[in-house]
Amino acid sequence: MRHLEIIILNGISNVGVNSVGLNMRYLELKRKVQNVRMLAIQGIAEAGSGHPGASFSAAEIMGALYFHKMNHRPNKPDWEERDFFINSKAHSAPGHYATFAVAGYIPLEEIKTLRKLGSRLQGHPVRYSERQKEHSFPGIEYSGGSEGIGLSVAIGIALAKKRDGKKNRIYALIGDGESNEGQIWEAAMSAPKFKLDNLVVILDRNNIQQDGFTEDIMPLDPVRDKWSAFNWNVIEINGHKIEQLIDALNRVEKVEDRPSIIIANTVKGNGIKHMANTPQWHGKAPPRKHIPILLDELQSEVLIAPSIIAGERENYEEKIKKAERGGADLIHLDVMDGKFVPNVSFFADTIKNLRKLTSIPFDAHLMIENPVDSVQQYIDARCDVITVHGEVCNESDFLEINQMLLKAGISPGIALNPATPYPTWLDDHLNNIDVIIVMSVNPGFAGQKFIPEMLDKMADIGKILKRNNYKGFIEADGGIDATTLQQVFDAGARIMVTGNAVYGSADINSNIIQLRHKANVAIELKLLEYATLMDIRSDWIKSRKHILIPFAKEVGIEEELHAIK
């Protein structure tokens, strides 16, 4: 049988350095989680079986833990001081193995041995032991499969560590289907009795179990109240937002004398639209021929970054809140000093105040004359992404800034004005750059007209980056609206700064929804094109019918859909 060639985005450093207290280098973390999904789905397709649903609903949860929060050493899995991760919903194993691979525990290639005879990566993971050397591996703390048991194991470890006065923290992932098991509730009762504040449970609340919706099979709600009544500290978040996960994981560290549970609201199969929220994808492999398109979909995610200087120059707090509620992914902060650009907006002190409002990632675009002199202020203001302009930094300035950003755990970026060509010295530093802003207007003001020539520039830069295995994102900034968004998407941009298109009219919520819709149209068109190229167009449309129906007219497949019915 021919093996799939394992594809991931190159350049991701897979050595797990995890330092609590730093920012999270948000865009890199985002890419790592994308890589986890890519690896997991390839492993499942290669095996012809496995669980994409849970692997995908828990991808950010595991990513936030292994790529940021947990103290662990991929090259010394049994390190005494490590934090423990007990995966009680062990059928999410493909996602867990892929997380181990991206974190540097096992070679990426090994994912294609998933579920094979003699492999260490069994359908349900086996805790390492000498006796079972061939099908277990160091890193797996708990042999799972029978649901409902992992939480009790986690409690045992937490209790032992506490009694021994150790600092290790214990994280346990449980499922909502798994919560049907009585043992979960016996465990829930006991952890508060022992005051296990070193224990954090994360509930992957995706609302689906095996072959149906949890609330039909065995209603779990009001789940929050249930855990509160058992005397747990409860936090509820969106489990696909890395920033919310990390924020919650930081907050529970301060809780004393009680265990904590983070109810992570997730979508089963999240990442591949036709798998999302459909019980049939709980445990089914996609056909191998779909893999290239699925990988393309996973890399096509679009991040919308509203720029708060657009519209009225006030009420930044309200603007951020509204953008967040409308589903924005980042908040774009245009810092203008009146020298580099003929306009003044706000500086680090304003950002510092806004930071208290929200955990949504801040994407700071510094349009300032001497970024080396003042970048520290923006680091201190806890921006998540900081971009400086190529026109005001030479290679050595850039490197100085870059080192400061990396040290602080901030995603570094560089911005290029319309007239500025791609600086060739960037080639040597692409591993340390998470975003390249290709300006599509001359910077200084929101609401300007998009410069169409920038589409070719963006595509050309995209080619250079591809040749260099660039792992980061291209960001389009200036004049992005419902029309140009599709164009810059096709030219390779995946982060969209949107000023006027979001804040230029009153209904911020609908504006973001419309832009998101346009992004989805662009994605569907791209995937359809790919399916045509691969000669599986009708098969693809059939698998994705329920997603494509609402787009039928815009992507021009009404007749084809009709023929399938």
Contact (Cβ atoms closer than 8 angstroms) between residue 404 and residue 411: no
- Residue 538 is a catalytic residue: no
Q: Is 332 a binder of ligand DX5 (CB under 6 A)?
A: yes
Q: Which of residues 334-373 bind Zn ion (CB under 5 A)?
A: 334, 365
Rg of the chain's alpha carbons, rounded to an integer? Answer: 24
Please select the residue that binds ligand DX5; options are 446, 523, 536, 557, rule is CB under 6 A: 446
Active-site option among 83, 176, 247, 334: 334
For ligand DX5, what does the binding mask look like between residues 281 and 320, x meaning CB under 6 A?
--------------------------x-xx----------
Shortest CB 323 distance to Zn ion, Å: 14
Which residues, 6 or more positions from 27, have their beta carbon under 8 angstroms from its beta carbon? 385, 411, 434, 435, 472, 473
Structure tokens at 295: 């990988």
Q: Is 53 a binder of ligand DX5 (CB under 6 A)?
A: no
Shortest CB 494 distance to ligand DX5, Å: 16
How many whole angstroms separate alpha carbon 90 and alpha carbon 16? Answer: 22
- Residue 240 is a catalytic residue: no
Q: Which is nearer to ligand DX5, 413 or 443 (CB)?
A: 443
- Residue 307 is a catalytic residue: yes
The alpha helices in 48-85, defined as continuous H runs, are 52-57, 59-64
Sole window of 128-136, 384-392, 437-445, 513-521 interacting with ligand DX5 (rule: CB under 6 A): 437-445
Q: Is the CA virtual torsion 332, 268, 14, 142 positive or negative?
A: positive
Q: Which of residues 476-535 bind ligand DX5 (CB under 6 A)?
A: 477-480, 497-501
How many whole angstroms separate alpha carbon 459 and alpha carbon 445? Answer: 24
- Residue 24 is a catalytic residue: no
The gap from C-alpha 298 to its chain's centroid, in whole angstroms, comes to 11
What number of other Cβ atoms are within 10 A of residue 50's Cβ? 27
Shortest CB 387 distance to Zn ion, Å: 8
Q: Which of residues 348-387 bind ligand DX5 (CB under 6 A)?
A: 365
Closest C-alpha among 478, 438, 433 to residue 458: 438
* HSE toward the beta carbon, residue 352, CA cutoff 13 A: 9
For ligand DX5, what does the binding mask look like between residues 195 and 214, x meaning CB under 6 A?
--------------------
Contact (Cβ atoms closer than 8 angstroms) between residue 438 and residue 416: yes
Q: Which is nearer to Zn ion, 457 or 526 (CB)?
A: 457
Active-site option among 477, 481, 496, 543: 477
- Residue 439 is a catalytic residue: yes
Active-site option among 92, 119, 179, 307: 307
The binder of 444, among Zn ion, ligand DX5, none, by C-beta within 5 to 8 A per type, is ligand DX5
Sole window of 126-134, 169-177, 260-268, 474-482 interacting with Zn ion (rule: CB under 5 A): 474-482
Closest C-alpha among 68, 79, 86 to residue 26: 68
Active-site option among 72, 365, 454, 543: 365
How many whole angstroms separate alpha carbon 522 and alpha carbon 488? Answer: 10
Contact (Cβ atoms closer than 8 angstroms) between residue 207 and residue 214: yes
Closest C-alpha among 46, 24, 26, 45 to residue 34: 26
The binder of 500, among Zn ion, ligand DX5, none, by C-beta within 5 to 8 A per type, is ligand DX5
The binder of 499, among ligand DX5, Zn ion, none, by C-beta within 5 to 8 A per type, is ligand DX5
**Distances from the Cα of 121 to the Cαs of 154, 360, 375, in angstroms?**
22, 35, 45
Shortest CB 2 distance to Zn ion, Å: 46
Shortest CB 458 distance to Zn ion, Å: 15
**Distances from the Cα of 540 to the Cαs of 276, 298, 544, in angstroms?**
16, 16, 6
How would you label 334-347 residue by residue, b for 16+ Cβ within 10 Å and e otherwise? bbbbeebbeeebbb
Number of residues that bind Zn ion (CB under 5 A): 3
Q: Which is nearer to ligand DX5, 174 or 335 (CB)?
A: 335
Please select the residue that binds ligand DX5; options are 151, 188, 433, 441, rule is CB under 6 A: 441
The binder of 441, among Zn ion, ligand DX5, none, by C-beta within 5 to 8 A per type, is ligand DX5
Q: Which of residues 451-480 bind ligand DX5 (CB under 6 A)?
A: 477-480
Please select the residue that binds Zn ion; options are 110, 324, 477, 524, rule is CB under 5 A: 477
Sole window of 212-220, 284-292, 315-323, 438-446 interacting with ligand DX5 (rule: CB under 6 A): 438-446
Q: Which is nearer to Zn ion, 324 or 334 (CB)?
A: 334
The binder of 448, among Zn ion, ligand DX5, none, by C-beta within 5 to 8 A per type, is ligand DX5
Place of tokens 């994409």: 52
The helices-and-strands tally (H runs, E runs) of the chain is 22, 15
Q: Which is nearer to ligand DX5, 262 or 515 (CB)?
A: 515
Q: Is 279 a binder of ligand DX5 (CB under 6 A)?
A: no
User: How large is the angle between the packed helices 482-490 and 508-533, nearest 10 degrees?
Assistant: 30
- Residue 336 is a catalytic residue: yes
The binder of 42, among ligand DX5, Zn ion, none, by C-beta within 5 to 8 A per type, is none
> What is the SS3 assignment for 203?
strand
How many whole angstroms separate alpha carbon 28 and alpha carbon 303? Answer: 14
Contact (Cβ atoms closer than 8 angstroms) between residue 323 and residue 331: yes
* HSE toward the beta carbon, residue 114, CA cutoff 13 A: 33
Catalytic residues: 307, 332, 334, 336, 365, 367, 439, 477
Residues found near ligand DX5 in the complex (CB under 6 A)? 307, 309-310, 332, 334, 365, 441, 443-444, 446-448, 477-480, 497-501
Residues found near Zn ion in the complex (CB under 5 A)? 334, 365, 477
